[in-house]
Amino acid sequence: MTSTAKPETGETPTARQKRVWDKSAPGYDKQMTFVEKVWFPGARQWLGERAHGRVLEVAVGTGRNLPHYRSGVTITGVDLSPAMLALARDRAAALGLAAELREGDAEQLPFPDASFDTVVCALSLCSIPQPAAALAEMRRVLVPGGTLLLVDHIGSSWLPLHAAQRLFEQITVRAAGEHFTRRQLPLVQAAGFEVEESERLKAGTVERIRARKPAAQADA
């Protein structure tokens, strides 16, 4: 989601994202409690109900999904931001969860091929600099037949709102690398996933996707 952090000369997009989220971490949960209630109700529960087995959460942030995973799953989370991860570790400890939470880049995941049964990414592909690269990495670390679960905000299906989003992201992309008209579904399909479930909500501004890595398709 959005941040007011200003760009710095010479930063790479990934370094900017790390700085933005480190700066945003202290107030993130307070901001998102309201935003999720109004804009993304039930989204985290939707993810938790569908995750299974060995779960990797990409861009785990402050760990807001952690309370919603079912018992019996094992949870690994990665995030660029040490400040966000510190809050996620506190949340996991408070919940009594033995989650492995480590610093990592969605575009270069620090895991071997076929390491996870489920990959989750919530409200993050909107700001990952190269979402296609991140999805390729998610596919790589999934077992054949593994599940990809995404929730994100996207460009509205209502044209006047879509136009307003496009104007707004002229500010947010420069300041924080956050896109409001980016849509993940075509990227998921281009990455070689089979989409099994998708829905758009809130005037088409929110999309939930459940997709599968084909069981018989080897990675290049």
Instruction: Tell me the C-alpha distance between 55 and 120, whole Å.
Output: 7
Instruction: Tell me the C-alpha distance between 204 and 158, whole Å.
Output: 7
Q: Which of 114, 115, 113, 90 is nearest to 101 (CA)?
A: 90
In degrees, rounded to 5, the angle at the alpha carbon of residue 66 between the alpha carbons of residues 60 and 70 is 130
Q: What is residue 217's predicted lDDT score, i.e. its pLDDT?
A: 52
Going residue by residue through the chain, which has 220 residues, state the pLDDT in tens, using 9 for 90 and above.
444 344 455 789 999 999 999 999 999 999 999 999 999 999 999 999 999 999 999 999 999 999 999 999 999 999 999 999 999 999 999 999 999 999 999 999 999 999 999 999 999 999 999 999 999 999 999 999 999 999 999 999 999 999 999 999 999 998 889 999 999 999 999 999 999 999 999 999 999 999 999 997 544 4
Residue 130 · residue 187 · CB < 8 Å: no
Alpha carbon 39 to chain centroid, angstroms:
16
Q: Which domains does the chain have, with CATH numbers?
A: 13-212 (3.40.50.150)
Q: What is residue 220's predicted lDDT score, i.e. its pLDDT?
A: 46
Six-digit token string for 111: 């895991």
Q: What is the pTM of this model?
A: 0.93
Q: What is residue 175's predicted lDDT score, i.e. its pLDDT?
A: 87
Q: What is residue 10's predicted lDDT score, i.e. its pLDDT?
A: 74
* E-assigned strand segments in the chain: 54-58, 74-79, 100-103, 116-122, 142-153, 194-201, 206-212
